[in-house]
């Protein structure tokens, strides 16, 4: 769904599929600034030495990292926040660090929820989480392991 700069959308839906669902968004001020399409995407750029050069003009400058918000959000976990700000931080999740910070929320859908208390992480039914195939399973599918 497209949401124009400076606007919002309200979404109605039936929450009938239990799980932890990431709802991703881009905050309006991001679209109007760094994430606007008028600027090149520098994710993956070798930024060696960039911080030192930019800090001569902007002493508090910090590059977001070569891999985008992920590395930046993990680093931000231990930094103090300015007053009245929303953190761009991630958190530990059931499968590792969730690195999208303030760019999404997790919608927790469960049968029988009656309060606003956090129900915890979704308990996946047996056999529904992907895992690496064993050498025996690979061979059974005709895949060489040597």
- Whether residue 9 contacts residue 3, with contact meaning beta carbons closer than 8 Å, is answered with yes
Q: Tell me: the pLDDT tens digits for 64-73?
A: 655 555 555 5
23 contacts: CB under 8 Å, gap ≥ 6: 104, 105, 106, 107
What average pLDDT does the segment 42-58 reach? 80
pLDDT winner (highest mean) among 6-15, 37-46, 49-58:
49-58
What is the band of 82 on the pLDDT scale with cuts at 50, 70, 90? Answer: low
Q: Tell me: the pLDDT tens digits for 83-113?
A: 665 555 667 788 887 766 556 678 899 998 8
DSSP 8-class letter at 32: H
What average pLDDT does the segment 129-137 reach? 91
What is the band of 34 on the pLDDT scale with cuts at 50, 70, 90? Answer: very low
């Amino acid at each position: 769904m497209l949401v124009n700069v400076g606007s919002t959308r309200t979404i109605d839906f039936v929450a009938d599929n239990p799980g932890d669902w990431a709802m991703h968004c881009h905050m309006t001020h991001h679209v109007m600034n760094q994430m606007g399409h008028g600027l090149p995407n520098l994710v993956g750029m070798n930024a060696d030495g960039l911080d030192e050069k930019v800090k001569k003009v902007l002493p508090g400058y910090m590059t977001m990292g070569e891999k985008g918000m992920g590395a930046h959000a993990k680093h931000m976990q231990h930094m103090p926040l300015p007053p009245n700000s929303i953190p761009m931080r991630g958190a530990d999740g059931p499968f590792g660090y969730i690195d999208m910070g303030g760019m999404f929320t997790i919608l927790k859908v469960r049968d029988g929820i009656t309060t606003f208390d956090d129900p915890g992480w979704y308990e996946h039914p047996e056999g529904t989480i992907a895992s690496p195939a064993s050498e025996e399973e690979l061979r059974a599918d005709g895949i060489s392991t040597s």
